[in-house]
Amino acid sequence: MQNDPVALEARHGAHNYHPLPVVLTRGEGVYLFDTEGRRYLDMMSAYSAVSFGHSHPALVQALTEQAQRLAVTSRAFHTDRLGPFLAALCSATGMERALPMNSGAEAVETAIKAARKWAYKVKRVPEGRAQIVVAEGNFAGRTTTIVGFSSEAQYRDGFGPFAPGFVSVPYGDAAALERAIGPHTAAFIVEPIQGEAGIVVPPAGYLREVRAICNRHDVLMICDEVQTGLGRTGAMLACDHEGVRPDGLTLGKALGGGLLPVSAFLARADVMDQFTPGDHGSTFGGNPLAAAVGLAALELLERDRLAERAADLGAYLMERLRGLRHPAITELRGRGLLVGVQIDPSVASARQVCEALMHEGVLTKDTHHTVVRLAPPLTITRAQVDVAVAALARVLQALAPAAARVEQPLPA
């Protein structure tokens, strides 16, 4: 059909995504609506970008009011929105300095530049020799530098040559990190919970060990919290669960309130102060519109105690999922409202489960073909959690009826 949006996308767009076969047109709170008017429970929230729900009135108001006043000037000039936003961001995270960008990948690229310059100017690593340690299974974005240190073959295939200076170690293995550190090591960049790898939670105490190792060797600990930050795991930052303060921090996704891309690299003053005028920048980074929405998002996060809500509802979600006792579920992983449901591939692929959930009125996405991601807006209710779990129970029953052992009937 000439005006079919899916056909138009296929004809005129790059085929770099494989969306579920649904065409969405509207969002409200925890719900999405398709072009036929059907309502779906959003259990993915755009990889945490929609942590506040779709079209939250307070965030839409902040966006609208600021758009009518001043949207973009570039950083060639001061604006009345940026300072308050940066102050609130530093206050919320306990960091000293913040550098605003747009996408999460840009925040990580900024962290890489900051770590290298700090290594040369402060640690006195010989120019061009700085190394950054990363963890296997990492996902920090799609830029050429970042995919160059990915351990996922597809992310690298056809995109080399890649930038040198990165060393990869097994995730969750603190001893391996210490062995990998040398005199030229600038930083270790790590996700407190690996999202794209399948919601992989490291062993208890891992981040504390990493912090101690980095202290011993004068290496920057940089936590990539683009997905896990801002309340998602039941704390402001996922590293807060172990009482760890990193030297650098990347945030994004939820920082834009589900309305526009907003990200930031935050760090100790001595790290951030290595940047001088002309070293780094972005036409849109820190624009008044982004700053106004980011500030409103931070205020909403605190006002509605959304981190605490994620802790409570995340525990409830895990309890309900464990109650399914279905053999197709081989493992449950996560923290707060970031949960991965590992599916036995002999029963079904995670993609099949997600497609079946779509027909049940629940939207989410698989990762690595075997994990169903459950990461709804932090505004979800217990009743809505029950709806999602009941839908999953019906899907698993249909996919593996002979093996199903659901403990008790679940609410519809």
Active site residues: 139, 224, 253
* Contact (CB, 8 A) for 69 and 83: no
362-363 β-sheet, strand order: 24-28, 31-34, 39-42, 362-363
Element (H, E) at 385: helix 382-399
Burial (CB < 10 A; 0-12, 13-18, 19+), residue 279, is: exposed
* Strand pairing report for 338-343 and 362-363: unpaired
Q: What are phi and psi of 330, to 5 degrees?
A: -95, -20
How far apart, in whole angstroms, are the C-alpha atoms of residue 57 and residue 61? 6
Q: What letter does residue 403 receive in the DSSP assignment?
A: T
- CB-side exposure of 25: number of CA atoms within 13 Å? 8
Both tokens assigned to 197: 């790898």
> Quick check: 188 and 133 in contact, CB under 8 A?
yes
CA atoms within 13 A on the CB side of 266: 25
Q: Positive or negative CA dihedral for 180, 246, 50, 373?
A: positive
What would the two tokens of residue 58 be?
A: 């307070």
Tokens 């079919």, residue?
4
β-pairing, 131-135 vs 166-169, is: parallel
The token duo for 222 is 């940089």
Q: How far apart are CA 143 and CA 109, in angstroms?
A: 8
186 and 115 in contact (C-beta within 8 Å)? yes
